[in-house]
Amino acid sequence: MQTWQLPQHIADILPERARQLESVKEQILALFRVHGFELVHPPLMEYSDSLLTHIDEGLSLKTIRVPDQLSGRQLGIRADITPQVARIDAHLLSHNQGINRLCYSGSMLHAKPDGLLATREPYQTGAELYGYAGTAADIELIDLMIKSLKLGGINNAILSLGHLGVFRALAQAANLQENQSRQLLATMQNKDREAVRDLAKSWQLDDIWTNALATLPELYGGRDILQAAKQRLPQLTAVSQAIDVLEQVCHAFPHQAVHIDFAEVRVDNYHTGLLYAAYAPEHHDAVARGGRYDGLGEYFGRSRPATGFSFDLRVFGAYLAASSRPEAVRVALADYAQAIEKINELREQGICVVVDYGMNDNSGSLKRLQKQGDEWILV
């Protein structure tokens, strides 16, 4: 085995792509800033208990663990930044009883990739809002998500909506156990109504709940599917409230392409209600995901309503225009010491100046800094 080979689903980011991603990252963080979101930098690694690995099975399977040689405790390399931000809101920013708007951008590691084409080192970027339970906060975050995608070159994203409240209301009414709910959710992902029905019948559920659960995989489509849901689902308060939230979001984005799926629940276990995601043409999976996760901070000492989204910054590489290296100015090595004041002046103006060692380089510079009379000028 060659020692320089990287692990599977791990890759370097080379100069052109790195320029693209850093540039769009700066623009997105600036966008977050003007919308009132403060930047935080959680650590790449902390004690695994703090990463919610023991209460979220999906997150636990993604998390790489190592022993801490200082404390003897188990460390985890983060597989998701959202729980870390929830910890910051609940613990380090607990003095603020109002709204906290927080954002972040950083690498995380997965023990296994999410798919055949997925990286194990996503560069997760996102924004979270804590302290307000109303749908207006979700709408604010969805709007920010769509604006972020446009900065990343994705102008025709489809907004996908779902709501965990519908399934959970039906599961509660049918008296499902937690393990039954998880099994049923997994079955629903294949959109196989009969498989859902057979599973519900095997548990001897009442027909009203068996039929309602088997209906969920069929309730997907455009905005008009909400009316169908009202007609076909049982009249439970929680179901009506969830549909009302979906209607509010649809009304807030009248010109946005929307897809609604009542069986779309492929999220981390900590989500609690409205789910939103964005899909782009010619991409195999969602380019951004988010949703409401009220109460996640309770584990860290403060339960708060919360909503937020995130995306892998690397995804934008396929949508951004090619990036060329900024033009550089060359200065001969023999002239460097004499020209240092002029060089510093140019660099302070944002102009790239490189030393010419008399060899080919990749600077692409066409201009030179030369002395004419008493002045250094660009030639």
CATH number at residue 300: 3.30.930.10
Is 128 known as a binding-site position? yes
**Whether residue 136 has pLDDT greater than 90:** yes
> What average pLDDT score do residues 236-251 get?
96
280 or 366, higher pLDDT? 280
Judgement on whether residues 171 and 239 belong to the same structural domain of the protein: yes
365 within a domain of the structure (yes/no): yes
Query: What per-residue confidence (pLDDT) applies to 200?
Result: 86
Is 140 known as a binding-site position? no
Nearest to 243 by CA among 224, 257, 266, 256: 224
Q: Is 155 left (phi over 0), alpha (psi -120 to 50) or beta?
A: alpha
Is 82 known as a binding-site position? yes
Query: What per-residue confidence (pLDDT) applies to 96?
Result: 87
Judgement on whether residues 179 and 138 belong to the same structural domain of the protein: no
The three-state DSSP-derived secondary structure of 296-347 is HHHHHCCCCCEEEEEEEHHHHHHCCCCCCCCCEEEEEHHHCCCCHHHHHHHH
Query: What per-residue confidence (pLDDT) applies to 2?
Result: 65
Judgement on whether residues 169 and 193 belong to the same structural domain of the protein: yes
275 within a domain of the structure (yes/no): yes
Q: State whether the Cα torsion 128-131-133-135 is positive or negative.
A: negative
Judgement on whether residues 62 and 167 belong to the same structural domain of the protein: no
25 within a domain of the structure (yes/no): yes
pLDDT bracket for residue 60 (50, 70, 90) = confident
Judgement on whether residues 234 and 207 belong to the same structural domain of the protein: yes
- Containing domain of residue 348, as a range? 328-378
* pTM value surpassing 0.75: yes
> What average pLDDT score do residues 121-125 get?
94
Is 80 known as a binding-site position? yes
Judgement on whether residues 133 and 11 belong to the same structural domain of the protein: yes
Q: How many domains does the chain have?
A: 3
Query: What per-residue confidence (pLDDT) applies to 170?
Result: 92
**Whether residue 33 has pLDDT greater than 80:** yes
d(CA 5, CA 25): 28
284 within a domain of the structure (yes/no): no
Judgement on whether residues 195 and 261 belong to the same structural domain of the protein: yes
Judgement on whether residues 124 and 213 belong to the same structural domain of the protein: no
309 within a domain of the structure (yes/no): yes
Is 266 known as a binding-site position? yes
Judgement on whether residues 2 and 83 belong to the same structural domain of the protein: yes
Is 256 known as a binding-site position? no
Judgement on whether residues 336 and 316 belong to the same structural domain of the protein: no
Judgement on whether residues 231 and 127 belong to the same structural domain of the protein: no
Judgement on whether residues 249 and 341 belong to the same structural domain of the protein: no
- Looking at 279, 301, 316, the residue that finishes a domain is 279
